[in-house]
Structure 1
Amino acid sequence: MPKHKFEGHERSIQSFIFLHDNVHIVSGSEDGKIRKWECDTGNFVGVPWKGEGGGINALALSPDGRTIACGRNDGSVQRWDTYGEMIEDIWTGHSSCVRMLSWSPRGGHIASGSFDGTILIRKAESGEVEVGPIETKQGKVYSLAYSPPGDKIASGGSNGTICIWDSNTGKLLVGPIKGLGGWVKSVVWSSDNSKLEIKELDVLLMDNFARVFDSISGTLLHRFEHDHTLESVALPLKNDNILACVGQHGVAKLWNIESHRPLNQPFGPPDYNNHIFCVSFSRDGRYLAYCGGDNKIALWIIGDVVPEIAVSALLIGFH
């Protein structure tokens, strides 16, 4: 069973983030509210943060850990500090909901992907659109992620494609990779922290498989099969040989990307009424959490769900 289930939102939780202190989670919901939680106790902190614009679909934390970007149903983007104060100016430009946000690694830009099929890249301080709108021709932009160096952005669409864009010009570099079936619901980049450079890998999902692609050629390198339709994937900050996959009904599994072997048995009792939207590791690698249509966040301690030998291997990357 999870260590905690954070309960309090009135509608589905679309996105959440771990703060840099490894103590708190901030979540955004279709109820239009943002809530802050303590990982150790499961308790809600303060009062809900309220803003205009309808349901919240996306949250992203700045690299310095001080500012949270928030994407809403009306297509707007807001910014908040981690104590619940909203920065005054609200950015507009999308004609439909903002489904995904990604902050550039150096913190200077925020990319937003919308159900209107476009990507906007803005200056993080002023909100000025610097690149875009990029007309992706991917249907609805459902997933979006900056590469670790910040020079590329990967996007996944509702038409089952993935594209990789030049983040400085908006030029299409790779793709569209087609024929993958279903919505591309989650996209993450892996990086080689020992060399401080990107591996040519890109992980995404559409069905029961998490797929690993070469980000230069678009070549499929490997597939990881899950027990349920996959909804979201995540990599730890300091050890991207570990891949977390969460299926539609809240069943999670951890894989070693290099050996292609599972690190554990699937965990999380299936809830066939639950639809998962987001999974993430805490920065220190201690916690894994996911959220969904049951209006809750399930928080797990990695050491409780991974066999001892796998825990040792996992934690090497966090010291």
Structure 2
Amino acid sequence: MDEGSMGSSHKRRALWLGPLQEQVPKRKSNRENLDRFIPNRAAMDFDYAHYMLTDGRKGKENLAVISPSREAYQKKLAEAFNMNRTRILVFKNKPSTPIDPIPQEFLSPSSPQTKPVKHRRHIPQSSERTLDAPDILDDFYLNLLDWGRSNVLAIALRSTVYLWDASNGSTSELVTIDDDDGGPVTSVSWAPDGRHIAIGLNNSHVQIWDYTVNRQLRTLSGGHRQRVGSLAWNNHILTTGGMDGKVINNDVRVRSHIVETYRGHHLEVCGLKWSASFQLASGGNDNLLYIWDKTMASSSAPRQWLHRLEGHTAAVKALAWCPFQGNLLASGGGGGDQCIKFWNAHTGACLNSINTDSQVCSLLWNKNERELLSSHGFTQNQLTLWKYPSMVKMAELTGHTSRVLFMTQSPDGCTVASAAADETLRFWNVFGTPEVAKPAPKAKLEPFAHVSRIR
């Protein structure tokens, strides 16, 4: 718009910017007033119009010579005819809320209701319980903590595997494996049934135990040449990752237990996680992350990977599949990387990357909310709760005095256990209590249902 048109529009706008009670609409000329006008007599104030045509105009003209008695008379007359027009077009107070003619208790359940506001969950900043964990190995590449479906937590303290029953707080010793017999223990993992547990050893063997009878069932050997630092179950398939870089699927039901071998890593495999859609993620000390698809596996030839992801610049140990989005994988890098990355497992694309400024040791998804928990090393040795997908920090939990190497989650998804190099095992109520599903409301009686109706 040119300058002249802007000036004219500004002048037109200025006619309406003065005080509302002082504005007088401009009278149209006879030439412009050509529309037919039908008056509404019911809305006309003839008394006020007569006054303005006679005494009102005279009062304005002779305002300077009006006597006090005349002024008092006009004031009384103005009050009688309600001529106090100073509040025309002036904002008034907000009208009062109308009363609902039908009480809410008589409305049917299908009536629109106001959505309840969800209150922010309180996140305790300190651990609710702390247990001693003497002689736990300060080794980033191992996996020495797991919480089973039977609500029993297993932790490996050098050569001994201890069981802690969360239902009653009792502790028992499952097995001690000395160095001469293959120890120390380098990994533990509960089977999906919550009864059997796999124990990886420094001598490349894996033992399967039934904890209910405290008995060893079998030993898996011949697959790896060095220690087994990572384990992951997929029904009856136990996947093992070794320092030799191999990832092996073992069918624990049969004598010849090796069914597939995945080759891709050339350094130690320190992270393994199966997804619900039978995809396996493996992370290694070679800074690589692989995604393998079991449905494409073949026992006759080495398995080729589905995706080879090179985004991290340090060892990839922390892995977690998203419970509410099956193709979403979160991974964390070691001290030289310090990033949490999110991957589309179908396409292999990196969706997001967050720098945490510290070593990422472990990752856990909240089963009930869109939240991710990470454990860290130097400098704060903290647990950080993130809101997904914004990745805003919701809380930072401190208490450990050394890097938090291991994390595991209770079966109900509420409590998280963390074990650190400070030789303590801490329990955090970080994910809160899941909301109990409310029963469907009973159908309410219609208003006046007890009154007889005329048909």
User: Considering the TM-score relative to the shorter chain, is it more than 0.5?
Assistant: yes
Gaps of 5+ in 1: 193-197, 304-310
Aligned partners of 2:374 and 2:341: how far apart in 1?
Answer: 11
Are 2:331 and 1:204 aligned?
A: yes
Where does residue 159 of structure 1 map in the other structure?
Answer: 286
Are 2:167 and 1:35 aligned?
A: no
Aligned residue for 1:17, secondary structure, equals strand
Are 2:130 and 1:5 aligned?
A: yes
- 161, 174, 178: which one aligns with 2:310: 178
Aligned partners of 1:114 and 1:240: how far apart in 2?
Answer: 34
- 36, 50, 55: which one aligns with 2:176: 50
1:286 positional shift: 2.3
- 305, 310, 319: which one aligns with 1:187: 319
> Residues 124, 88 of structure 1: CA spacing in aligned structure 2 closer, same or farther, 3 A cutoff?
closer
Aligned partners of 2:437 and 2:135: how far apart in 1?
Answer: 35
Aligned partners of 2:350 and 2:437: how far apart in 1?
Answer: 29
Asked if the contact 1:288/1:302 (under 8 Å) is kept, the reply is yes
| CA-based RMSD | 2.5
Asked if the contact 2:198/2:208 (under 8 Å) is kept, the reply is yes
Matches within 5 A, 1:1-319: 1-12=126-137, 14-22=143-151, 24-29=152-157, 31-39=158-166, 45-51=171-177, 52-83=181-212, 85-92=214-221, 93-104=223-234, 107-126=235-254, 128-150=256-278, 152-168=279-295, 169=297, 171-192=303-324, 199-206=326-333, 207-236=337-366, 238-239=367-368, 241-249=370-378, 250-264=381-395, 266-269=396-399, 271=401, 274-302=402-430, 311=432, 315-316=434-435
1:78 positional shift: 0.8
**Which one has more relative contact order, counting CA pairs under 8 Å at least 6 apart?**
1
Asked if the contact 2:153/2:163 (under 8 Å) is kept, the reply is yes
1:137 positional shift: 2.9
> Match of 1:221, as an amino acid?
L
Aligned partners of 2:129 and 2:327: how far apart in 1?
Answer: 36
How many residues are treated as equivalent by the alignment? Answer: 295
Asked if the contact 2:207/2:219 (under 8 Å) is kept, the reply is yes
- Aligned-pair identity in percent equals 19
Aligned partners of 1:127 and 1:149: how far apart in 2?
Answer: 27
1:221 positional shift: 0.8
Structure with greater strand percent: 1
> Match of 2:173, as an amino acid?
V
Aligned partners of 2:435 and 2:412: how far apart in 1?
Answer: 11
Q: What TM-score do you get using the length of structure 1 for normalisation?
A: 0.83
Where does residue 21 of structure 2 map in the other structure?
Answer: none
Asked if the contact 1:227/1:247 (under 8 Å) is kept, the reply is no
Aligned partners of 2:156 and 2:290: how far apart in 1?
Answer: 27
Gaps of 5+ in 2: 1-125, 439-455
1:301 positional shift: 1.9
Aligned residue for 2:316, secondary structure, equals coil
